[in-house]
Amino acid sequence: MCGFVGYCNTGFSESNNQRIIKEMADTIKHRGPDDESYYIDDSMVFGFRRLAIIDLEHGKQPMTDTITERVLQFNGEIYNYQEIRAFLEEKGYVFETESDTEVILRGYDYFGEKIVTQLRGMFAFVIWDKKANKLFGARDHFGIKPLYYYQADGEFVFGSEIKGLLPHPKLKKAFNETILADYLSMEYTTDQTTFFKDIYKVMPGHYFCYDLTNKEMSTTRYFDPVYPIQKQTREEETRKIEQAVEESVSAHLIADVEVGSFLSSGVDSSYILKTASEQQNIQSFSVGYEEEKFSELSYSTDFSDSIAVKNTSRKISADDFMNAIPNIQYHMDEPLSNPSAIPLYFVAQTASEKVKVVLSGEGADELFGGYNRYLDAIPYSKYDKTPRRIRVSLAKLAKKMPAMKGKRFLVRGALPIEERNFRIDYVFSFNERNQLLKNQQLNKDLHQETKKIFEKAPMKDEIHEMMYFDFHTWLPYDILLKADRMSMANSLELRVPFLDKEVMKVAATLPSKDLIQKNKTKVALRETANKKLAEHVANKPKLGFPSPLAEWIKREDIRADIQFAFHTDFAKTYFDQAYLDQLLEDHCAGKKANMRKIWSVYTLIVWYYQFFD
């Protein structure tokens, strides 16, 4: 795994190009501390930082094909590169290294843009085609690896992280206030925009072509999940899942350096670790809080002992947590208020002291139906058959009733799925945003944004619609964003065996009843895991990563830090400070549970001053 930056040369001298690209690459040195190298010609400038994992002596980038005059830089790992290489060798291609990088370069020559459909792995790459005068770039199917670009005033700048683009002298850094409502509602945006004006994400499962002649960019989606449900027995399902996961773990273990594995208290990381330990010696890494009621480190220790795997754990304190926030938000590139990012940062830091690669369990929930909120699909799928006029009438009646069991169900039951989706108004509701934002013109109704995604869902049953939505939003913009940034902040490669093309092919065939049941999530996956894990491990309820943050906020010094942030110039510009003060006051007095709201705004402010101070 590595990091790269680059730009289309619009008239800088060679000496200036050397200075600019080095400054850009140095900004992401944490992604690749092992090596640096550059490519410069009259039209294109590349900069690369390498974290050496495979073919340590070779595979240097940017990699140039002198015959085709194409240059490649690539971040990630291709797990089927040996099969693609064998195919290309049969076609007459000759290879000079053992790296997956060269396979992409030769593969592009043979397959063209369709090389992306051949690749199995996590990747973001760009290929400069000098003869065609165009830049081709792509991002993997799931969005595991990041890729950003700046396009304005005839300039085109790109790289693995936003911070790597910012040193470019013609890039005009500016805060994008238009997506404040998205963030304050859902904690992220649902499209390619970022909090930096004119800087965009290359979306997961997409490739782009930038024509340097006319300075035009086109993007193409090459992957979108489909769900070809199959009629099969549970035994057939578990056999296919087991085979796919074992094969994926085997592929993800390929490295010329030692590989470890993260271990939480959940079934996903336990299943990955157990499967990996059956294939090679491996060690695990865990993190928890000093407050025992929020920590499950005892589980990690017990489980690791039971499968004879060494476990290294770390406990973090409130001071550890708070002191790390500025650095973490800097590495995120965009504000992310999910508190679980902080322990992830510390477990990555701990692992990086002993290994260069770790496996992790991200992605199982989105593929196999793991979130507790998916259980709502069972009653709502039945209730939706009730005529809408009746559901609307019952919702109106329920709204007038005092708090009671079933009120929330009846109120939400009159809404279409895009409005019922829990991410809408997850932090601040529309009316709350109107109170918070000084300029109410920045507020907007986000239902149409979510509706666009739900309408594209290929399956029209509620569980698959919810999974499809999370696949396109929560997974890349929260789960994978923090996984990549927190691991790379510590120069650690994080691999996710569940997010594999072949695993997804199997998961996509499962009907709803084998994803969720009355009080159980990930039904088929848990039954598969139970073949290797004890029943109490395989069927352990999903907890997420509980945090003592709600209590920490009440601590006098932490409260003071937050209140100080609420009165900065940025906060004064965009927010009603009296409203923020009341949120904090009510929370600390125990009147309301405002942790999520407080932390969302505080995180945004801290992030802002990492980039715009």
pLDDT for the residue numbered 98: 87
Q: Stretch 353-366: mean pLDDT, rounded? A: 97
Q: Residues 550-575: what's their mean pLDDT?
A: 97
DSSP characters over 367-409: HHT--GGGGGHHHHHHHTTS-HHHHHHHHHHHHTSPS-TTHHH
Task: State the average pLDDT over residues 133-159.
Answer: 98
Q: Pick the catalytic residue: 2, 8, 209, 588?
A: 2
Q: Are residues 519 and 564 in the same domain?
A: no
Indicate if 481 and 510 belong to the same structural domain.
yes
Which pLDDT value is given to residue 421?
73
Q: What percent of the chain shows pLDDT beyond 70?
A: 97
**Same domain (yes/no): 483, 566:** no
**Residue set of the binding site:** 100, 287, 360-361
Do the domain assignments include residue 439? Answer: no
Lowest-pLDDT range of 54-58, 67-71, 294-298, 589-593? 54-58
Chain length of the chain? 613
State the Cα angle at 424 between 421 and 425, rounded to 5°. 135
Other C-beta atoms lying within 10 Å of the C-beta of residue 462: 21
Q: Does one domain contain both 205 and 250?
A: no
Q: Nearest Cα to 195, choosing from 47, 25, 340, 329? A: 329
Residue 70 lies in a domain: yes
- pLDDT score for 53: 73
User: What is the tens place of the pLDDT at every residue in 232-286?
Assistant: 999 999 999 999 999 999 999 998 899 999 999 889 999 999 999 999 999 999 9
Residue pLDDT, tens place only, 397-443:
998 888 888 888 898 888 888 887 766 668 999 999 999 999 999 99
Residues 74, 48 share a domain = yes
Distance CA 265, CA 542 (A): 9
- 229, part of any domain: no
Element (H, E) at 595: helix 595-611
Do 332 and 260 lie in a common domain? yes
Residue 87 CA to residue 11 CA, distance in Å, equals 41
Phi, psi of 75 (to 5 degrees): -120, 120
Judge whether residue 225 has pLDDT over 70: yes
**DSSP one-letter string for 313-324:** EEEE-HHHHHHH
Q: Which residue type is seen at 104?
A: I
Q: Is residue 589 part of a domain?
A: yes
Residue 87 within a domain:
yes
Q: Judge if 28 and 126 occupy the same domain.
A: yes
Domain span at 595: 548-613
Q: Does residue 580 sit within a domain?
A: yes
Q: What is the mean pLDDT of the chain?
A: 94
Output phi, psi for 3, to 5 deg.
-150, 150
What was the pLDDT predicted at 543? 63
Same domain for 513 and 571, yes or no, is no
The pLDDT value recorded for residue 220 is: 98
Domain containing residue 509: CATH number:
3.40.50.620
CATH number assigned to the domain comprising residue 147: 3.60.20.10
Question: 585-599, pLDDT tens digit by residue?
Answer: 999 999 999 999 999
| Tokens 């009296």 sit on residue | 578
Binding residues for ATP: 287, 360-361
Residues 265 and 317 in one domain: yes
* Residue 438 maps to a domain: no
Active-site residue, 2 included: yes
Q: What integer is the mean pLDDT of 536-551?
A: 79
The number of distinct structural domains making up the chain is 3
- As annotated, the binding site for L-glutamine includes 100
Q: Do residues 264 and 285 touch, judged by C-beta distance below 8 A?
A: no
> Could you say which of 538, 571, 588 is where a domain stops?
538
- pLDDT for residue 519: 87
**Residue 316 pLDDT exceeds 80:** yes
- Residue 59 is predicted with a pLDDT of 64
Of 482, 512, 538, which marks where a domain is finished? 538
Percent of the chain with pLDDT over 90: 81
Query: Which segments of 61-132 are extended strands (E)?
Result: 63-65, 70-78, 121-129
pLDDT of residue 57: 64
Q: What is the pLDDT of residues 20-43, one digit of tens each?
A: 999 999 999 999 998 999 999 999
* CB distance 187 to 337 below 8 Å: yes
| Domain boundary residue, one of 174, 194, 221 | 221
Q: Do 322 and 191 lie in a common domain?
A: no
Residue 499: is its pLDDT beyond 90?
yes
Same-domain pairing of 80 and 161: yes
260 lies in the same domain as 213: no
Query: Taking Cα atoms as reference points, which of 324, 310, 232 lies closest to residue 276?
Result: 310
Q: Give the model's pLDDT for residue 336.
A: 96
What span, in angstroms and rounded, lies between the C-alpha atoms of 494 and 1? 9
In angstroms, rounded to a whole number, what is the distance separating the alpha carbons of residues 571 and 452? 32
The answer to whether residue 568 sits within a structural domain is yes
